[in-house]
Amino acid sequence: MGLAVGIDLGTSNSCVACVRGGQVIVCEDNEGRRTQPSVVAFGSRSVVVGHRAKKQILHSPEGTVTSSKRLIGRRFEDAEVQRMKSHSAFGVFRGDNGDARLRVHGKSYAPEEISAHVLSHMKRIAEAQLGETVDRAVITVPAYFNDPQRQATRDAAQIAGLECIRILNEPTAAALAYGYTRSTKKRIVVYDLGGGTFDVSILRVDGDLYEVIATAGDTLLGGDDFDIAASEELIKLFEAQTKQSFADNRTVRLRMREAAELAKIALSEAEEVLIDLPSAWRTVQGVDHSFTYTLDRHTYARWVLPLVQKTLAICEETMKTAKMNMRHIDAVLLVGGMTRYPLVREAAQHLFGRVPDTSVNPDEAIAVGAAIQAHTLTSTDESMAPSVLLDVTSQSLSIRTMGGHCDVLIPNNTPIPTEHSKVFHTAVDQQTEVRIAVYQGEGRQADMNELLGQFVMEVPPMPRGQVRIRVTFSIDADGIVQVRAVDSVHGQEASIRIEARGGMSPEEVKQAHFGSVADQDLVPEK
Ligand code: AMP
């Protein structure tokens, strides 16, 4: 059997780590880089991933996939997918099952396949450094990921030839990394703002016990949104200057987006930055128009403040759920690349009334925590005390009732694994099936939430009310929902058909699996 690693599969960057001989090793590529861009570039005969792929964005934008994690496990109609569609150079379209799919050079891909390329790249980097086969992984996801997004991440691992031994919430992983080297009894907040998502978790850490008290987040709020907001402002300035509309000009929009991200990173060190794009727009006659603008921190703060405030509102709500006030908190951990930005750090510091702890590396902590968990789940090494994780479900599980309302079965912040049963009975004589629609989310109305599936149970035809079925909804340690049903007449497991569930079918996953032939198509980074 090979090694088990921890992989932080991020929206913008990914990182892989492993525990060996009681030491955590963050794996480096052959140029010593410890994180890899989650970017996949498709050429005519090869696929490149990571730093080499990122370099191709400007000269082959339509062949380079970035931020595909924002599409994983989502329906095409989802507002986020529509937004990605208008901001991406690669194609985004509706798959046969209603899910978002990508089109690159005329070929279609599920977002799971893109994530699988990134996972496979991380696996190779770990194998090259550790000199052993890696075949299992703990993979992290945003705490606020719902069931389809978690399932899709598992499928991505399978395609990449990795057994996913646990789906772990990113903030929980960061807390594990924090607690690993210290014997501590603390209540900590993990504020995690990455490229695509925001999560906050409040945990009680007591020695080797990590108990999540409350978690919340927004899977549509990350560094990408800061870049989109700032690039919209830059586009407005350029439009005023040129008296042109760039609403439909993809090239100008992409350039401004890239400039916005670079300016943001520069502003995290400097008070102001000069944005200088000599050929920001080329007319059909081939005339270049340049764009120059000096952006200062004050103006940037005005542009992105609503996004920062959104994260703070989520933190305050989570503190209320945890029935805590700021005085109860012993440490604030900041993770995710966006927490390098001073405005974000200052906002978190102001809200929690304490200087954030800087002992964990914001880019590596999640992979380190995942590696620790992988070690706990697989090691027989007695010298290392295993950590005990008690996590919670981030979103409520409910069923639709009359009038389209949601009846909550498992509320958010319930410790997982958990299960809850409900008895249903037939309402009509000779009824042959009972249909139950299961939703995830906090909306009171079903249509405000994510439909996980319609569970159709076949029942023996009998007078109404005589067939009772106990349905058990459970959420496992990966945060994935399972449903079982027992028919009270025969005491037998009722047969359940799941309809309207998206994601790749098991056959599609099997077919997409990177076999040895596909592996040769992948060009490892030199
Ligand atoms: P992650 O997903 O944690 O790798 O975070 C990626 C996000 O962090 C992207 O939106 C980056 O633009 C952003 N980021 C990385 N470094 C910095 C920095 N020094 N200042 C501001 N944002 C940064």
Residue 481 has pLDDT above 50, yes or no: yes
Atom of ligand 1 nearest to the CA of 12: 2
Tens of pLDDT along 148-181? Answer: 999 999 999 999 999 999 999 999 999 999 988 7
Query: Which atom of ligand 1 is nearest to 363's Cα?
Result: 3
Q: How far is the CA of 319 from the centre of ligand 1 (A)?
A: 25
Q: What is the enclosing helix (H) or strand (E) of 237?
A: helix 223-242
Q: What does the pLDDT average to over 204-210?
A: 91
Q: What is the DSSP string of 65-95?
A: E--GGGTTT-BTTSHHHHHHHHH-SSEEEE-
Give the HSE-up count for residue 162: Cα atoms under 13 Å, Cβ half-sphere. 34
Q: How confident is the model at residue 485 (pLDDT cuts 50, 70, 90)?
A: confident
Name the residue at shortest CA distance from atom 5 of ligand 1. Answer: 337
Tokens of 400: 């639709």
Percent of all residues in the chain with a pLDDT value above 90, rounded to a whole number: 70
Enclosing H/E stretch for 319: helix 297-321
Q: Three-state SS across 407-462?
A: EEEECCCCEECEEEEEEEECCCCCCCEEEEEEEECCCCEHHHCEEEEEEEEECCCC
Q: Which residues line ligand 1 (CB under 6 A)?
A: 10-13, 194-195, 223-224, 261, 264-265, 268, 336-338, 340-341
Mean of pLDDT values over 80-95? 89
Prediction pTM value:
0.91
Q: 126: CA distance to ligand 1 center in Å?
A: 23
**Cα-to-centroid distance, 307 and ligand 1 (Å):** 15
For a substitution probing ligand 1, which of 190, 197, 264 has the most ligand atoms within 8 Å of its CB?
264
**Domains annotated on the chain, with CATH:** 3-221+322-391 (3.30.420.40), 223-302 (3.90.640.10), 397-498 (2.60.34.10)
CA–centroid distance, residue 45 to ligand 1 (Å): 31
**What confidence tens digit (pLDDT) does each residue in 244-285 have?**
999 989 889 989 999 999 999 999 999 999 999 998 999 989
Considering only CA atoms, which of 186, 149, 65, 139 is closest in space to residue 370? 139
Ligand 1 centroid from CA 287, angstroms: 34
The residue whose CB lies within 8 Å of the most ligand 1 atoms, and thus the one to mutate among 51, 219, 338, is 338
Confidence check: pLDDT of 518 > 70: no
Under DSSP, the state recorded for 99 is B
The size of the chain, in residues, is 526
Cβ atoms 378, 4 nearer than 8 A: yes
pLDDT at res. 471: 87
Distance 435 CA to ligand 1 centre (A): 45
Q: For the residues 273-302, what does the mean pLDDT come to?
A: 95
Task: Return the residue whose CA atom lies nearest to atom 16 of ligand 1.
Answer: 337
Report the pLDDT value the prediction gives residue 412, as an integer from 0 to 100.
95
Binning pLDDT at 50, 70 and 90, where does residue 460 land?
Answer: confident
Give backbone dihedrals phi and psi of 522, rounded to 5 degrees, phi first: -80, 125
Ligand 1 atom closest to residue 335's alpha carbon, by position in its atom list: 3
The model's pLDDT over 380-401, given as tens digits with 9 standing for 90+, comes to: 776 667 788 999 999 999 998 8
**CA 341 / ligand 1 centre spacing (Å):** 8
Q: What are residue 504's DSSP bridge partners?
A: none
| Tokens 């992983």, located at residue | 173
- 119 neighbors 8 (Cβ within 8 angstroms): no
DSSP strand pairing (433-440 vs 397-400): antiparallel
Tell me which residues are annotated as active site: 8, 69, 170, 192
Confidence band (pLDDT; 50, 70, 90) for 517?
very low
Residue 503: band (very low, low, confident or very high) from pLDDT cuts 50, 70, 90: confident
